[in-house]
Chain A
């Protein structure tokens, strides 16, 4: 009993140091978050980021500023936690930090892939939507959503693979999902919707050619 109490007592300074480090980190994170939020609001960060094509719905309360401030605050908290842990055992902390830093490039790569994937998905979806509307395709919205989700799923799969989560299962699941979608579309076009698709394509082709021949319209 005495031995156990003495062991607990020996841990007490470490616990106090951890709590103190977390408190200081929390204070620091809070102050930093406020400064950052005001600075970003000053430069109209939300509007600029959304204009650049970043999907606002990926952020809490649809605010990229909130996303950045929270990410910075939690990073400060994580650093504070590591400083606190170092009070217990220096070796353990250095091992943890080493592992964390080894893993960090994967996290960064995953974040970059997700952001790039989001931007590309949005750009392609909008391109397809506008192009399909201008071609008078009734299913323009459906095409656009399909493209958006396809690129997004691809980006998420690549990001997860970078993080080393799931290993081969993710790759296999994506293969099955992607292959399944393509097969389903091929079957739908080849069997069920063959006539519908051909009628639709005929209608579009006829529409374009009739307009070309009959309309006495010039633009320039």
Chain B
């Protein structure tokens, strides 16, 4: 699903434009009912978003609809649509999205665009406001990366809250709430940098770190609530492997940068978080704790290859606790994540095995978080997550030390 897959007529239309200001990638898979008679629901959304911008921008739309080609019947707005072939059966949804990002970046590079916007969230939550909010700071204020901030219930975005955001904050010193988006606004300069820095790897994992590694301006914008796909629990380990693998690779690539950074700073944010519906749903933590126990019983040999003995001992103690007292201390979880990143770098064990073996530990963290936050309000949730982020920052010295001297005795 690379740039070659764009049809010849679309390439000719791009050439006729003589360049474009923007590339907008609408990368969520479209369903048949979302298309209208003239083509697609995407184009009206883009037109509305462009109307919100102060100047008319020549725009190329890259649409990941796969099966339904879209056509620009209205010539009043310079829109060129590109659709690319459906993915192969062996590609997962995550891999499809990753290669779609690359296509958007390459299109932007080819036409010399000033900015790119990526809309990956499902059409039920993503509106035209999202596109303009992601593009405005790039076009008007000169920001290079506009990261999203979503209004979330306490049990949403847990992988992001438990690993991605605090890890990014501790390593790169930027308090970015969603370092892996997935909805982003990018300047042309940063898009080029991402393509150069990550020619083959996952661009989604590289965007925030590429921005942090150069003199790029980063900000956040409030987008509102984001509707999530329902969790496929049987494939949770695949999701973790697909997300954490590129993140750990990026950590390895940027090692010289993050080892010298200390502390973190908040980033400028635009807009305000919208109201959230009542968060009254309770979570049954029993199956997650059972998964953790099963992992602790069976996977200690595998974990023992990269986790230090004290961590294994703590996990064993944790597995003996009754379900209602099940709490995973922040420091233990942080060290586990750091040791997994280190194990990934050292290839102590096959990388796929390492990444998949984190699943019971992650479920253990979710269970502990759910029990701790069962009666918590939004402020308490925020303060709990802030505590976790600080634990990541405090324990960064541990990661740096083990990264530099992995063979040193570590009890």
The judgment on whether A and B are partners is: yes
A contact set with B: CB distance below 8 Å: 51, 53, 123, 126-127, 129-131, 133-136, 138, 140-141, 144, 207-208, 211-212, 214-220
B299 touches A130 (CB 8 A): yes
A interface secondary structure, majority: helix
B180 at the interface (CB under 8 A from A): yes
The 8 closest A-B pairs by CB, nearest first: A218-B228, A218-B156, A216-B281, A219-B159, A134-B237, A211-B233, A134-B359, A217-B155
- In the assembly, what is the distance between CA of A188 and CA of B180, in Å? 48
12 A-B residue contacts at CB 8 Å? Answer: A123-B350, A134-B237, A136-B287, A136-B290, A136-B291, A138-B294, A207-B287, A211-B287, A212-B233, A216-B156, A217-B283, A218-B156
- In the assembly, what is the distance between CA of A20 and CA of B156, in Å? 79
B283 touches A216 (CB 8 A): yes
CB distance from B394 to the nearest CB of A (A): 25
B236 touches A134 (CB 8 A): yes
Question: Which B residues are in CB contact (< 8 Å) with A127?
Answer: 353
Contact A140-B298, Cβ < 8 Å, known A212-B231, A216-B283: yes
Question: Which B residues are in CB contact (< 8 Å) with A140?
Answer: 294, 298
- In the assembly, what is the distance between CA of A131 and CA of B157, in Å? 24
Interface centre among A51, A138, A218 (most CB of B within 10 A): A218
Question: Which A residues are in CB contact (< 8 Å) with B284?
Answer: 214-215
Tell me the count of chain B residues lying within 8 A, CB to CB, of chain A.
43
- In the assembly, what is the distance between CA of A130 and CA of B358, in Å? 10
Question: Which B residues are in CB contact (< 8 Å) with A138?
Answer: 294
Contact A211-B231, Cβ < 8 Å, known A130-B353, A136-B290: yes
Instruction: Select from chain A the residue with minimum beta-carbon distance to B233.
Output: A211
A126 touches B283 (CB 8 A): no
Chain B 239-283 per-residue mask, 1 if CB under 8 angstroms from chain A, else 0: 100010000000000000000000000000000000000000101
Question: Which B residues are in CB contact (< 8 Å) with A214?
Answer: 284
B299 touches A218 (CB 8 A): no
Contact A219-B356, Cβ < 8 Å, known A123-B350, A208-B233: no
Question: Which A residues are in CB contact (< 8 Å) with B290?
Answer: 136
- In the assembly, what is the distance between CA of A214 and CA of B282, in Å? 9
Find residues 93-149 in chain B having any chain A CB closer than 8 Å to their own CB: none
CB distance from A5 to the nearest CB of B (A): 66
Question: Which B residues are in CB contact (< 8 Å) with A130?
Answer: 237, 299, 302, 353, 356-357
- In the assembly, what is the distance between CA of A210 and CA of B358, in Å? 23
